Amino acid sequence: MKEPNSTSSTTTSPTTESVYGMPAYIDRAAAVGEVHSRPHLLIDAPRSLLQLAFMTEGDKEKDQLAMDELSHRLGVPETDHTARLHGLTWEQGDLHCEKHTEFSTYLWCAPLDMQSGEPIGENPFKHGFIPPGPVVSGVRVTLLPWTPETETKAEEFKVASLCYSIVEGGSAAILTDFHQDKDGLTNILILSRDLSPARAGALVQRLLEVETYRTLAVLSLPLTRSMTTELRRMEARLAAITDEMCTSMAQRRDSDILLSELTNLAAELEAGVAANLYRFGASSAYYDIVEERLAALSEESICGYHTWHDFLQRRIAPAMRTCHSVKERQAKLSDKLTRAISLLRSWIDVELERQNRDLLASMDNRAKLQLRLQQTVEGLSVAAVSYYVVGLLSYLLKGVPLVYDFAAPVTAVMVPVVMVGIWLKVRSIRRAHADTATEKST
């Protein structure tokens, strides 16, 4: 019986840094080695595999602490924690740790005792194991030879949700009911007829990913239920504000208050969208992975049983549609708020233009009044200045002995002359000021 790959085989082999002695692009090694970054195990039946997925939020120190504790307890050398995929190997089996963006998976692969149906060796997840985070998924996979005796294992699953199908071109059968046992694990049974170790390892990896990613995909469902209530409240408030806008536009009031309420509602919505953006995006990506892995199984149905694809489609697809509908409601509500704010701002701008027009008209009337007052003052000033000038001239004439007797008639003749002269002078001054103002405006 072949053992699973050793720890060294689970890491990516180094890529040549140059080609024919020419320097390689800085990221070439990572790009070329990506296809080998997640090698599947080489597994022979009978075998037991136990995988736990922990939410770590990308904290690598938590994984390092858990793996260091295991290596000390099992008495095996510590592994390279910088690698995304690394593990431990001891006599009873292997433990493989794989780090993802927000979670990490720990896969224990051990020989199986056919008599007891239990794995041989110490369970690494017991006896003081330090979890790197809360458990999000737990899967137990049992690989057995396909015999009449092992076929009876199907009776251990719940009939109502038993998924039983043929895969690998008839070389294997896969069974599960997607229920959790007393340990909180989902049990999967693989019956192998003539699977090679490589094909068995690839099949196990696909089934583990189906169970892990389908759990992660549905994590957004509780969030969508709470968001539905919030969206309903926001939609009702938006409807009430738009109704108030109709009344306010007719009565020309409360525009600032309505704009403030709309802006606050839009800010609240955008804050919720930003906070849940990653969760919705991750759920969609996880669901796509589940779809790909189920399609890769190429299941052949067995009469009277569900296939994995049909069972999960009926149960996960509605949840994903619910998440998608909530995202669409958020987007539509955001568009409605944007249009409402734009409409209210347009109305406020029109109202401001009306007020500016009235203000300009009032200023124009005031300017006309000032002009009339100025003209009146100019007329009075011409009379007043003429009076003083004529008075001065009369005094001047009276002081000359030769014309003293004719002072009164001469003064009378000078009155219109002085008034016309002063009026012409005032007019020229006003024209000079008007020309200066015109030049400045141009």
Q: Which two tokens stand for residue 434?
A: 């008007």
Other residues' Cβ atoms within 10 Å of the Cβ of residue 246: 9
The answer to whether 128 touches 69, Cβ cutoff 8 Å, is yes
pTM over 0.75: no
Confidence of residue 253 (pLDDT cuts 50, 70, 90): low
For residue range 330-340, list pLDDT tens digits in order: 888 888 888 88
For residue range 141-154, list pLDDT tens digits in order: 999 999 988 888 88
Looking at the DSSP bridge assignments, the partners of residue 142 are: 48, 189
* Overall average pLDDT of the 271-292 stretch: 87
pLDDT given at position 425: 78
For residue range 173-189, list pLDDT tens digits in order: 999 999 999 989 999 99
pLDDT given at position 274: 81
Q: Is 201 exposed, middle or buried (0-12, 13-18, 19+ CB in 10 A)?
A: buried
7 pLDDT more than 60: no
Return the higher-pLDDT residue of 357 and 78.
Answer: 357
pLDDT given at position 398: 74
pLDDT given at position 392: 80
The answer to whether 212 touches 139, Cβ cutoff 8 Å, is yes
Report the share of the chain in percent with pLDDT over 70.
89
Looking at the DSSP bridge assignments, the partners of residue 85 are: 98
What's the gap between Cα 293 and its chain centre?
27
369 pLDDT more than 50: yes
- Is there a cis peptide before residue 46, judged by omega within 30 degrees of 0? yes
Confidence of residue 128 (pLDDT cuts 50, 70, 90): confident
Residue 381's alpha-carbon distances to 411, 416, 422, in angstroms, are: 20, 15, 9
User: Reduced to 3 states, what is the DSSP secondary structure of residue 113?
Assistant: coil
Residue carrying structure tokens 């005792």: 113
